[in-house]
A = this chain, B = another copy of it.
Amino acid sequence: MNVLEHIGKEAKKAAPVLGTLSTEKKNQVLLKAASNLTAGMDRILAANEKDMEQGRAKGMKAGLLDRLKLTPERIEGMAEGLRQIAGLADPIGQVIEEHRPPNGLRIRQVRVPLGVVGIIYEARPNVTADAFGLCFKTGNVAILRGGSDAIHSNHTIVEILQETLAAQGCPVSAISLLEDTSRETAAAFMRLNSYIDVLIPRGSAGLIAAVVKNSTVPVIETGSGNCHIYVDEAADLSMAVEIVYNAKTQRIGVCNACESLVVHEKVRNAFLPLLAERLSEKQVELRGDARAREAVPMKEASQEDWGMEYLDYILSVKVVDSLSEAVSHINQYNTGHSEAIITEDKAHAEQFLREVDAAAVYVNASTRFTDGFEFGFGAEIGISTQKLHARGPMGLLALTSYKYKIYGKGQVRK
């Protein structure tokens, strides 16, 4: 039996134990894990330094090195994350619905863990503690496959979590890490249907696409966001300027940042100069169609620009003649993440909210709010851009399934 098979088997064995732990026990373990991470700070920093050295040696870019780097503050942040998860309500065991059909059976729909959750992610080692916390709170076993760049950090964090589990009398295989970060093992991991109930990829668009393409285990697709803001003919233009400025520049490398602006013909001449001036504070590059370039000098947008998630100080600009044209354009190019309309016209707002096909559709607010914390979920395992199972920010509920418990008195089918 190979290592992967062994990990899968142990995970599946631990799943029923985890699924029936009491809320009190789970919270106790989470709090203990938090203090053990803090207490193990030196061990984690030493391991992280090995990853940083390797990264520098292979010429990793500054941005990636920064994502990889752990500091006492960041480790404290990981511990604090676990404490917050301990404070959230436990969804497991909740009775969703109960009814008694004519056959006299009592059918009770009860919330249960998914079982074994596989998480594939890249260089950020804080995901390791985070994923454990969310999975453990919902009674799920987690198998993590982090990036090779963070292997020492991830190894040490998982070691501390497993020491905590052992000391608390819980199955150590509640969390495991694939130490072999080869592509072949990742590919085999994605086809481990006998042991894994769901796979969640977290990271770049390329990683997510590869998981969707190669996995036979059910996947929750997260992530990429080509988010639009449509400035309607009935928009409050100064509100529109501030919302676009925020959605484009407040943080550029995130999936809920605005990447494309759609403007109604009637307001383009009044709006675009105002916006261009505000965005110039952050040197945002505009790329527009012919009519946008008539209103403000800017680069010409190519056909590819409409589908681009820049994750940079760049914004594409499209002018349309109607709300319906805006909706068609957005539905053609968006990634099902977050889309906004700026308008004072309630009928326009409702048409946009109804017709645009995305997880989160906004009227008069920044797309940057698509986030588990901002939505009030208290934590987030990712943002789903698919329609199956969960859509938008995924909190604890997204890590659950249900079962039907059915109480009979000897009923047989006629």
A4: min CB distance to chain B, Å: 18
Complex CA gap A388/B117 in Å reads 11
Beta-carbon contact of B409 and A364 below 8 Å: yes
Beta-carbon contact of B218 and A413 below 8 Å: no
Contact status of A376 and B101, CB under 8 A, knowing A20-B355, A388-B388, A404-B392:
yes
Contact status of A412 and B250, CB under 8 A, knowing A197-B387, A388-B389:
yes
* 8 Å CB interface, A319-363 against B: 327, 331, 349, 353-355, 357-363
Beta-carbon contact of A369 and B411 below 8 Å: yes
Beta-carbon contact of B364 and A236 below 8 Å: no
Q: Does A198 touch B at the CB level, under 8 Å?
A: yes
Contact status of A404 and B360, CB under 8 A, knowing A216-B212, A355-B16, A410-B239:
yes
A272: min CB distance to chain B, Å: 19
Contact status of A16 and B357, CB under 8 A, knowing A219-B218, A376-B99, A388-B197:
yes
Complex CA gap A221/B20 in Å reads 26
Contact status of A406 and B362, CB under 8 A, knowing A198-B388, A388-B401, A401-B391:
yes
List of B residues within 8 angstroms of A102 by Cβ: 376
Contact of A107 among B115, B375, B409 (CB under 8 A): B375
Complex CA gap A360/B402 in Å reads 10
Complex CA gap A359/B406 in Å reads 11
List of B residues within 8 angstroms of A221 by Cβ: 218
Beta-carbon contact of A236 and B410 below 8 Å: yes
Beta-carbon contact of B413 and A246 below 8 Å: yes
Chain A interface size, as a band, is 35 or more
A30: min CB distance to chain B, Å: 22
Complex CA gap A146/B46 in Å reads 59
Beta-carbon contact of B216 and A218 below 8 Å: no
List of B residues within 8 angstroms of A407 by Cβ: 349, 362-365
Contact status of A374 and B331, CB under 8 A, knowing A364-B410, A387-B115:
no
Q: Does A227 touch B at the CB level, under 8 Å?
A: no
Q: Does A105 touch B at the CB level, under 8 Å?
A: yes
Residue of B nearest to A360 (CB): B404
Q: Does A220 touch B at the CB level, under 8 Å?
A: yes
Q: Does A84 touch B at the CB level, under 8 Å?
A: no
Contact status of A361 and B413, CB under 8 A, knowing A219-B218, A220-B388:
no
List of B residues within 8 angstroms of A213 by Cβ: 216
List of B residues within 8 angstroms of A114 by Cβ: 387-388
Contact with B along A16-33 (1 / 0, CB 8 A): 100010000000000000
Contact status of A15 and B216, CB under 8 A, knowing A402-B391, A409-B364, A410-B239:
no
Complex CA gap A389/B219 in Å reads 11
Beta-carbon contact of B406 and A365 below 8 Å: yes
Beta-carbon contact of B403 and A360 below 8 Å: yes
Beta-carbon contact of B387 and A198 below 8 Å: yes
Q: Does A74 touch B at the CB level, under 8 Å?
A: no
Complex CA gap A86/B374 in Å reads 39
Beta-carbon contact of A193 and B216 below 8 Å: no
Contact of A410 among B103, B216, B242 (CB under 8 A): B242
Contact of A408 among B115, B354, B364, B409 (CB under 8 A): B364
What are 17 pairs between A and B in contact, CB < 8 Å? A101-B374, A103-B374, A105-B369, A193-B212, A198-B387, A213-B216, A236-B410, A243-B410, A359-B403, A360-B403, A361-B404, A365-B410, A365-B411, A368-B412, A369-B406, A369-B408, A388-B401
- Which residues of A line the B interface, CB within 8 A? 15-16, 20, 99, 101-103, 105, 107, 114-115, 193, 197-198, 212-213, 216, 218-221, 236, 239, 242-243, 245-247, 250, 327, 331, 349, 353-355, 357-366, 368-369, 374-376, 386-389, 391-392, 401-413
